[in-house]
Amino acid sequence: MTKLLTIRIPATSANLGPGFDCMGLALDLWNTFELHQGNGAGITVESHGEGEDVLPNDKSHLVVHTMIEELTTFIPFNPGHQSYHIVCRNEVPCGSGLGSSSTAVLAGLLFAHAVLDPHGFRSPAGSARILNRAFEIEGHGDNVAPALLGSLVIVVGRNGEVITHRITLPPTRVVVCVPRFHFMTSHARSVLPLHYSRNDAVFNVGRAMLVVEALRNGDASLLSRAMDDRIHEPYRLPAIPGAIEAKRAALACGALAVTLSGAGPGILAFAQEDHDAIGQAMQSAFAAAGGLSARYWVLDVASSGAQVFV
């Protein structure tokens, strides 16, 4: 089988406390997607690594689904002529709050645009188109934008376009602890209120700005005081058994700031030292208080987003 393209896309942690739906961080844990010439049977897929036992191997697979949807908005899709085989090598745990589905959406879009416009899809205009489409599909851009651009990205929608601002960070290391708990993003969004008070809005706006400045400057003291949230965490943490205790355990173990990773169930802890001890403390808390087994990763921020190798 002829390999046409390989794409690596990093894990991401969205929200970062007060930045609900508006900011995210790329992490040094990668899903790799290969596009091969197919054998005339449409688009087929196989998955290895994280999720290999649960991910579908037909056209309902998110990479395949997204690629076909995107292709068919531009050209009639003919499975005999447009035949590809996709190989997914996954390091990002599925359903963890680390943006695994965003990596799949981006891979599907990048593959579709690579097929449609092999020379243009990597241009700035091509990337902007892909980001806009990913934002439309996801409904928010706080995973897809850092996955595409790397580092810390602020992202907002404006009249059908997406505004992003990428911020380079000093070396930053986090611990992410992911319990074995099914917490669908759609459910995690459904538990949120439709309206918030002015006090809560002000609480979050100020802290979101401070978190950006703290991360940009590597200001540990500011980060530890600013990373707090009233939009999503108070509603989601209690729904994840042991999450409140895991957050408390990480802080007691010396983490600077601890927050839900995206919509969860993973917990993200910023720390300057003792990363393994913090990961183990969160694991123990999930087991003791929530009866859940958990895994943890010590990860650096990824300065690069999606990488394409032809």
Could you tell me if 74 and 80 are in contact, meaning their C-beta atoms sit under 8 angstroms apart? no
Tally the C-alpha atoms within 13 A of residue 104's C-alpha that lie toward its C-beta. 31
Query: What mask, x for binding ligand HSE by CB under 6 A, covers residues 203 to 242?
Result: -----------------------------x----------
When asked if residue 92 is in the footprint of ligand HSE (CB under 6 A), the reply is no
Do residues 242 and 285 lie in contact, with contact meaning Cβ atoms separated by under 8 Å?
Answer: yes
| Part in contact with ligand HSE (CB under 6 A); list of ranges 86-94, 182-190, 248-256, 268-276 | 182-190
User: In the complex, what is the shortest distance from the CB of residue 33 to ligand HSE, in angstroms, rounded to a whole number?
Assistant: 20
50 scored as a contact of ligand HSE (CB under 6 A): no
- Which of positions 10-29 make contact with ligand HSE (CB under 6 A)? 14-15, 20-21
Q: How far is the CB of 25 from ligand HSE (least distance, A)?
A: 12
Binding mask 137-156 for ligand HSE (x = CB under 6 A): ---x-xx-------------
User: Which residue lies nearer to ligand HSE by CB, 29 or 115?
Assistant: 29
Q: Are the beta carbons of 23 and 301 closer than 8 angstroms? A: no
User: Can you say whether the dihedral through the CA atoms of 21, 239, 229, 213 is positive or negative?
Assistant: negative
How far, in Å, CA of 176 to CA of 291, rounded?
A: 18
Site size with ligand HSE, rule: CB under 6 A: 13
Regarding 94 and contact with ligand HSE (CB under 6 A), the answer is no
Could you tell me which of 1, 158, 127, 136 has the C-alpha nearest to residue 66?
A: 136
Q: How far is CA 159 from CA 132, 163, 256, 289, 310, in A?
A: 11, 10, 37, 45, 34
Two tokens at 141?
């851009």
Nearest to ligand HSE of 1, 191 (CB atom): 191
According to the binding rule CB under 6 A, does residue 85 interact with ligand HSE? Answer: no
Q: Which residues bind ligand HSE (CB under 6 A)?
A: 14-15, 20-21, 140, 142-143, 185, 188-189, 232, 262-263
